[in-house]
Structure 1
Amino acid sequence: MSYKIAVVVGSIRRDSFNKKLAQALAKLAPQEFEFSLSRIDDLPLYNQDDDANQADQVKRFKAEIAAAQGVIFVTPEYNRSIPGVLKNAIDHASRPYGKSAWAGKPAGVIGVSVGAIGTALAQQHLRNVLAYLDMPTLGQPEMFLQNKEGFFAEDGGIGADSQKFVQGWVTKYVAWVRQHAAVAKAA
């Protein structure tokens, strides 16, 4: 079986560390897992008045999430929480009420920052949102990554000193997705 994982990066900055992390994670995934970045920078601001007539970009994004067997959120931390652009994307794909693309999708939460605590507070806020959205979210290991010299390798992958640690998270996440896929198949 192959697995498609939607990767939602909470930063739209051109040189985003979190986008770089998302691309590096894909290199650590088993061959049967396809990690695809889901674009969120073109989504309009969420407005409930538009629920009955969602923009084409929103429909595209929701379709990507719906087609995935899992979702990885790669988030920076802005002012001790998640970026507005990420919350906007989450809100769009959860609407209209009763037609959420998120429900039941096994989620992983990870992020990198130059700060010593990584993205710990943003991840906690995000986990609260994902619980409401009925997304079973991998609890352990937590990944509060600090981007310091050598974290990223020259080839864009994870540096040698951190690769085993980050690989451990990827391994646990893909097992989480497989577990949820097996339960869904049996149901």
Structure 2
Amino acid sequence: MSQYTIAVLVGSLRRESFNKKLAAALARLAPAEFKFNTLEIGDLPLYNQDDDAHQAPQVLRLKSEIKAANGLLFVTAEYNRSIPGVLKNAIDHASRPYGQSAFAGKAAGVIGASVGTIGTALAQQHLRNVLAYLDVATLGQPEAFIHAKDGLFDDDGNIGAGGREFLQGWMDKYADWIRKHAA
């Protein structure tokens, strides 16, 4: 049995973030051979192209963790109908300088939760556009725009009964996607 290391990028820094909770709960739905590492992105400086020749240690750490991973999982909030600035900042750092992207050739899943009824649909679409440019093979179906409402998580932080079947199906498809692209 192969082991798969997944780099998780959560597009929210909030302590009680629905997306941090979702990332942790999804990891518990994954097959045993999958290991999920949530990457720190809150300590990155603001991206400045002038720094490309001498990237900060935090940026080099992020790029190294992404390169070492077999796959990526983006779990993002939606701010103002797009991806949060902290996530875009991390993507800009890890994809630069031009020609040295840590993302190239990786496979990914995109998911997110929001209190809005359309979940994170628009943020996910914007993120998919960015990832396509970065040569990231992104799982297309099933799409998962999670409405963060009562019952999404149980008392132990697992996916609640109402969404467990759907999110287990999503995780199964994601795991197959990563296995296919990591081969």
TM range (shorter): over 0.9
- Residue 155 of structure 1 is matched in structure 2 by 156
Provide, for residues 80-133 of structure 1, a one-character-per-residue CA deviation record: whole Å limited to 9, x for no partner. Answer: 000000000000000111110001110100000011000000000000000000
TM-score normalised over the length of structure 1: 0.96
- Residue 172 of structure 2 is matched in structure 1 by 171
- Residue 145 of structure 2 is matched in structure 1 by 144
Identity of aligned residues (%): 71
Separation in structure 2 between the aligned mates of residue 181 and residue 42 of structure 1, nearest angstrom: 29
- Residue 18 of structure 1 is matched in structure 2 by 19
Tell me the CA shift for residue 27 of structure 1: 0.4
TM-score normalised over the length of structure 2: 0.99
User: Do structure 1's residue 135 and structure 2's residue 136 form an aligned pair?
Assistant: yes
Match for 2:67: what amino acid? A
User: Do structure 1's residue 90 and structure 2's residue 127 form an aligned pair?
Assistant: no
Match for 1:74: what amino acid? V
Tell me the CA shift for residue 3 of structure 1: 0.3
Match for 1:73: what amino acid? F
Separation in structure 2 between the aligned mates of residue 51 and residue 143 of structure 1, nearest angstrom: 35
Match for 1:45: what amino acid? L
Match for 2:165: what amino acid? K
- Residue 185 of structure 1 is matched in structure 2 by none
Separation in structure 2 between the aligned mates of residue 79 and residue 27 of structure 1, nearest angstrom: 30
Alignment of 1:105-144 (within 5 A): 105-144=106-145
Tell me the CA shift for residue 53 of structure 1: 0.4
Q: Provide structure 2 residue ranges, at least 5 long, that are not aligned to the other structure.
A: none
Root mean square deviation of aligned Cα = 0.5
Separation in structure 2 between the aligned mates of residue 87 and residue 144 of structure 1, nearest angstrom: 19
User: Do structure 1's residue 34 and structure 2's residue 32 form an aligned pair?
Assistant: no
- Residue 63 of structure 1 is matched in structure 2 by 64
Separation in structure 2 between the aligned mates of residue 133 and residue 157 of structure 1, nearest angstrom: 32
Separation in structure 2 between the aligned mates of residue 15 and residue 165 of structure 1, nearest angstrom: 23
What secondary structure sits across from 1:150 in the alignment?
Answer: coil
Alignment of 1:38-57 (within 5 A): 38-57=39-58
What secondary structure sits across from 1:71 in the alignment?
Answer: strand
Match for 1:126: what amino acid? L
Tell me the CA shift for residue 181 of structure 1: 1.4
Separation in structure 2 between the aligned mates of residue 12 and residue 122 of structure 1, nearest angstrom: 16
Separation in structure 2 between the aligned mates of residue 124 and residue 90 of structure 1, nearest angstrom: 15
Contact 2:71 2:182 in 1 (8 A): no
Separation in structure 2 between the aligned mates of residue 180 and residue 147 of structure 1, nearest angstrom: 30
Separation in structure 2 between the aligned mates of residue 177 and residue 145 of structure 1, nearest angstrom: 21
